[in-house]
Structure 1
Amino acid sequence: MEGYLLDWANLLLRWLHVIVAIAWIGSSFYFVWLDNSLRAPSDAALKEKGVGGELWAVHGGGFYNPQKYLGAPRHLPEDLHWFYWESYSTWLSGFGLFSVLYLFNPKVFLIDPNVANLTPTVAVILALAFLVVGWLVYDVLCRALQKKEGLLAVLVVAFVVIASWAACNLFSGRAAFLIIGAMIATIMSANVFFWIIPGQRKVVAAMKAGQPVDPIHGQRGKQRSVHNTYFTLPVLFAMLSNHYNMTYSHQYNWLVLVLIMVAGVLIRQFFILRHKGVVNVVYPIVAVALLAAVAAWIAPSRPAAAAAGASAAAVDVAQVKPVMDKHCIQCHAAAPTLMPTPAKGLMFDQPDQIKAHAQQIYQQVVVQKAMPLGNITNMTEDERALIGRWFEGGAK
């Protein structure tokens, strides 16, 4: 029953996380597009009111005319919408999901003995430290280099590269990618919580008190919002990467992570410029070339066991079953010992079940060597080769 309830917590938290993340990213992308699409008003009355840019748009059968003021409007409306619940809900639901899946099961999901021999307690502390330290380092850099955006960008990228390398040398590849994504997502939400919304509240408070509005709040909020939009695609890849072990299981997985995140930034840059009327195809071309190069680089080679399969002695499922019993049924069984329920719903208790999933077993165990997860059961190369010969011989 405990495992069943955890599965429901996983499902509902993931569903909630996706829903609110769509709302946050959608509103973020919309406002970046809107800000870059505004045109100076031609109406003298709008200029007199302090409107610096406007846009006419049609959507859903209606016409819209959003306007942006230079600084703040002279008279604050009573009905003022704030954009912050999307950010907070995304982070809270994401952290809840991260806790249920990873922090509550560090031995299974966080730790890979072949990477670093961590205790569960140390692994959890280090994972949380990445979130906290990531924000602190980023925030210090922004404070120190507020007017040196070029240098700031270089140092933030360098920090993410270092953090990616460190995470991939401390945690299992799957967890490392997710932790870097969570670290950047924490930075994004903290930007909203500590800078963007407080700055806007100070502007509103000054207006209500009849005091002049300090433009620094708008400048700081704009800087952090711009940073957030560049972070978005790298974070989305990191969050989705746990479904694609060919990326995080590579020997140089930290570099794979960095290169794919760079491709995401280049794609985002293309769209930001396009909003301004500048179409520079160099960015998407370089991004696609980078992704293609990574895909070619990490492509699995044909295992030696498979190449020798034709001349090797025939292997049947009776020989493979003891290997599966030793290394796989801890997670893939009717009553697994390392997980509350069978992972991915796959069970290998019986020979027929093993044969039915021969292709998946071969791909995960022999080609990509992604399973057992974190090689927690220490499967040997000889055992992988045995499974390889069995599959290449027809999985009999």
Structure 2
Amino acid sequence: MNFNELGLNARMVTRLEGLGITEPTPIQAKAIPEALSGRDILGIAQTGTGKTAAFGIPLVTALSKRQEKAAPRTARGLILAPTRELANQIVDTLRDLTSDQRITLVVGGKSINAQAQKLSRGTDILVATPGRLIDLMERRAVDLRATRFLVLDEADQMLDIGFVHALRQIAPQLGKDRQTMMFSATMPKAMAELSRDYLTDPVRVEVSPPGKVADKVAHSVHFVPKEKKQELLIDLLDGHRDDRALVFSRTKHGAERLMKTLEKVGFAATSIHGNKSQGQRDRAIAAFKDGSVRVLVATDVAARGIDIEGVGHVYNYDLPNVPENYVHRIGRTARAGRTGRAVAFCSADEMGDLKAIEKTLGARIEVAGGAPWGGTADAAKPKAKRRPRRRNGRRGANKMAA
């Protein structure tokens, strides 16, 4: 199938060809015709399969057909994303797709006054994180009543990090006569409930079972004591110093400590997490993209929205406590048809997290090293020897069973 067969106009097809994009991915092939017909969409697909273009192409096409001009402080289309990094990635994709439409980004960590100034002129597509959008709404810097298109990208993560209350504030402000598209790589029960609240008679487009790992990712797990994780990571990274590697830590402080340790032993490393300013995060990602650093240590802020060519390895230094995030994390490699490797480290107290991940995947992860723990940290510790019971005032009167 090619893009001509999906009902796109010649101008869009030509633009895609100029970007070297000639064949739609499966999620694009299924979602674009339905979206062009005006249907609400619930899209489920693995990370790295082209979901952004799956909603971006029909959104840009629909807005160009209407040929309206955005009034001051209004947005014709709204895309909500859970993280700044994902919002930035969406804007980059949209700007590749059109040069005629005004695209405005509003996220935390940037000057809200500058963002309000941009919105004062009106915009065709507003890409926003929910918290910053509400700040602007409360300042009356943006009016969403004329918004006719709403996209919720990575909606399941919005639920994970508590944006559902923000969504309930934002959605009623939009025009009732609108088209809504919701996309994600996983489909937890709470997201199904969310879709019933925001989608009207949606068509569900799904190209892989929720929680399925991309076919070209070879993933494995090492069972390793917590205090040995650094040593193992350094040893594994040393085997591919010229490749880009993304290392996930569960906490902000842990990510920063690990990055500094890697720097001390000679790796070109940087980090991104919630304690970094937006400028620091942008510079870190830029350095990782241009290859001036080869190791990026991150919290789950980077699990979505980072689309960087050549990430050959993903390390789950700490397992995620939300099992669906495992899929998103390792989806940062093997993108756009490439191959990649993902390696997880599992300490004794993470055994429950591993079991939850394997349940979500519906499969066991290949063991690359060590042996599975007993299931809890206590089970992995050496057991204290039992002392013989006293009988008639004497210790060890009877032999104990081995």
Give me the TM-score of the superposition, normalised by structure 2.
Answer: 0.25
Q: Which has the higher strand share?
A: 2
Give me the TM-score of the superposition, normalised by structure 1.
Answer: 0.25
Q: Which has the higher helix share?
A: 1
Higher relative contact order (CA closer than 8 Å, sequence separation 6+): 2
Considering only CA atoms, is the larger Rg found in Structure 1 or Structure 2? 1
